[in-house]
């Protein structure tokens, strides 16, 4: 294989790896087109677990996700990550908490030759819907 062919192959493999990694990155998907000021750190972000529904009217503003460190790991770290994301986009609470297993694939080229490897594993992703209260009195 010539140096040019090797260079093109390496770039392609690198590109595939970046696409595979970025496609699975948990984050925030906006539902509402409004932009809200971030909440203060002291403001508590409620998490309604087990499909509980708040008694107050609300509007959905985004769907957020966080990776669980390992399948049976504690939820404290994940819940704090969800709260941080909700706080950053101005949310008051999180509803519809769900958990799913996803397959993640990553590829990488071996330095110095044309070999490359693919690794696949499963990860647990926790998601929820960030909401804002329609009535400010609900936040108390």
pLDDT in tens, 73-97: 778 889 999 999 999 999 999 999 9
CATH number of 26-102+110-139: 3.30.110
**pLDDT over 90 at 20, yes or no:** no
**pLDDT over 70 at 22, yes or no:** no
Cβ burial, residue 74 (10 Å; 0-12/13-18/19+): exposed
Domain ranges within the chain, ordered by starting residue: 26-102+110-139
- Mean pLDDT over all residues of the chain? 78
What are the Cα distances from residue 124, in Å, to 31, 84, 135?
23, 19, 34
pLDDT in tens, 30-64: 665 567 777 776 678 999 988 888 999 999 999 99
Specify the pTM: 0.67
């Amino acid at each position: 294989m010539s140096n040019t062919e090797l260079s093109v192959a390496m770039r392609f493999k690198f590109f595939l790896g970046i696409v595979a990694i970025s496609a699975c990155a948990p984050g925030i998907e906006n539902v509402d087109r409004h932009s809200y000021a971030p909440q203060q750190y002291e403001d508590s972000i409620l998490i309604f677990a087990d499909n509980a529904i708040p008694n107050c009217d609300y509007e959905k503003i985004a769907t957020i996700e966080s990776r669980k460190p390992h399948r049976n790991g504690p939820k404290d770290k994940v819940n704090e990550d969800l709260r941080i994301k909700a706080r950053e986009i101005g949310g008051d609470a999180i509803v519809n908490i769900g958990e799913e297993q996803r397959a993640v694939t990553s590829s990488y080229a071996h330095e110095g030759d044309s070999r490359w490897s693919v690794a696949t594993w499963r990860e647990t992703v926790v998601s929820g819907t960030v909401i804002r209260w329609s009535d400010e009195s609900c936040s108390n």
